[in-house]
Structure 1
Amino acid sequence: MSFKYFGSYKDFSFSTRRGNRYIHSENVQSFLDALLETSKERERVLKKGFQLWRARIGNDSYHTKVYLDENDEEGEEVDTGEPSPYSQDKMKPLLDLATEGRANPKGIPYLYLATLKETAMHEVKPWVGLSISVGQFQINKDLRVIDFSKFHRANKPTRREIINLPKEERTKLEVWFDIDTAFSEPITPNDKTSDYVPTQIIAEFFKTKGFDGIVYRSSLAKGFNVVLFDLRAADLISCQLAEVESVKFNFKYTNPFSYLIERD
């Protein structure tokens, strides 16, 4: 089974956002079946011990113990006011406070990580002067994941090579490209939660098929994002505090149209 046409993901996205969301139509189920059928070459195994990064905006305060006298064995914990990285329990999502994400629905937390420290820091979209707690995680077992980013790397086919492929193969590449782009699109405050539904359904679909997570490229920095469905699949091994010194934006004009205001 393969995808019917180039715009298959766009139709799937529209149907799940504007039509039936939880009870899938025949076309939506057909799309998901084709997704699974064409996913074989995108399966990866992240080996036990593989290290990833996670960033959170904010920090804790450093606490120390003060002993009143030489007979005080327990001491009193005092907040020094000095900033420190978030504690271990805060570097993973809280089970009862999970918000909507590209991969997870509200109330069902996934662990969002990145292959590079800088990627993790860019993904939280910090501003100048903010503190960021940056944790290094280590996978504690072999994990089977789906890599949406496979042909967005340096070895991706050229446009000429894609054009010369059979139609079915071209269609498959275009659909998977659209899905990777949908996952990679940065979340903004103006997003509607319905915008996340298509990618959430895809992530959950692969979760039900026995996969441990997904991989997709970052549109904000080099490196890749890794989403693990089980919060226990990776352990925090270190954490440090960083402060944002500068932020750089690059702009491009999206169309050739502009206008001038005529003055009398």
Structure 2
Amino acid sequence: MTYEEPVPFAPERMKPLKGAAHEGRVNPRGIPCLYTASNKETAVAEVRPWLGALVSVAQLTPARPLRLVNCGEGHDSKFDVYFDEPAPEIREQAVWRAIGREFSKPVGPDLAVAEYAPTQVLAEHFKKLGYDGVVYKSKLGPGINLAFFDIDALEMQNVRLYPVKTVTVEIGEVENSYVIKRRKLDA
């Protein structure tokens, strides 16, 4: 008699496949990037699981000293407004907030390829400057996201399997909605 018991993915499957990577916020299609999160709740939320899904989550540690670009601070507002030309340091902060908002902006599953282009260009520039990855705020979980250009920059310590017990969506309403009037039928 055999029993099927769910187990986490094997270590080699916990990283993207070289040459077969999906396009992401930091990487173009075919070039792998290791996307991680600061906690398991954010890691699970970022894969957008369904109710009852089993998600493999690895605990990771740096394999070497790493240099990261922090794009994850101070961008809670939707945009910056100035009535006079701000000082250079204020302009620089505004630019970094805008960059952080772009890295954190949720993109739907039916995205056009070009939606990732701005952050991919920035990530490639950071990589050429010698950085190992990018830190940015998660809009789906309570933590932060970290994307590493070298998929071997981190080593796995533990891999656990987490069942998704609930999926919650909180909605709002946009003011510029519209109503379709029904035509009266002749009696």
TM-score by length of 2: 0.87
1:236 is matched with: 156
1:249 is matched with: 169
Q: State the 1:79 CA deviation.
A: 7.2
- Whether the 8 Å CA contact 2:69–2:131 is kept in 1: the answer is yes
1:173 is matched with: 93
Counterpart amino acid of residue 123 in structure 1: E
SS at match of 2:156: strand
Q: Which of the pair has more CA radius of gyration? A: 1
Alignment CA distance shift 1:80-1:187 (3 Å):
farther
1:129 is matched with: 52
Q: Among residues 128, 141, 144, which one is paired with 1:208 in the alignment?
A: 128
TM-score by length of 1: 0.63
SS at match of 1:135: strand
1:224 is matched with: 144
Q: Larger % of helix: which?
A: 1
**2: distance between equivalents of 1:240 and 1:186?**
26
Is structure 2 residue 94 aligned with structure 1 residue 94?
Answer: no
Alignment CA distance shift 1:263-1:243 (3 Å):
same
- Whether the 8 Å CA contact 1:119–1:218 is kept in 2: the answer is yes
Q: Larger % of strand: which?
A: 1
1:119 is matched with: 42
Alignment CA distance shift 1:128-1:186 (3 Å):
same
**1: distance between equivalents of 2:148 and 2:19?**
17
Structure 1: stretches of 5+ with no match in the other structure: 1-77
SS at match of 1:231: coil
Percent pairwise identity: 37
Higher RCO, 1 vs 2 (CA within 8 Å, ≥6 residues apart): 2
Q: State the 1:229 CA deviation.
A: 1.0
Q: Among residues 15, 20, 32, which one is paired with 1:109 in the alignment?
A: 32
Aligned residue-pair number: 182
Structure 2: stretches of 5+ with no match in the other structure: none
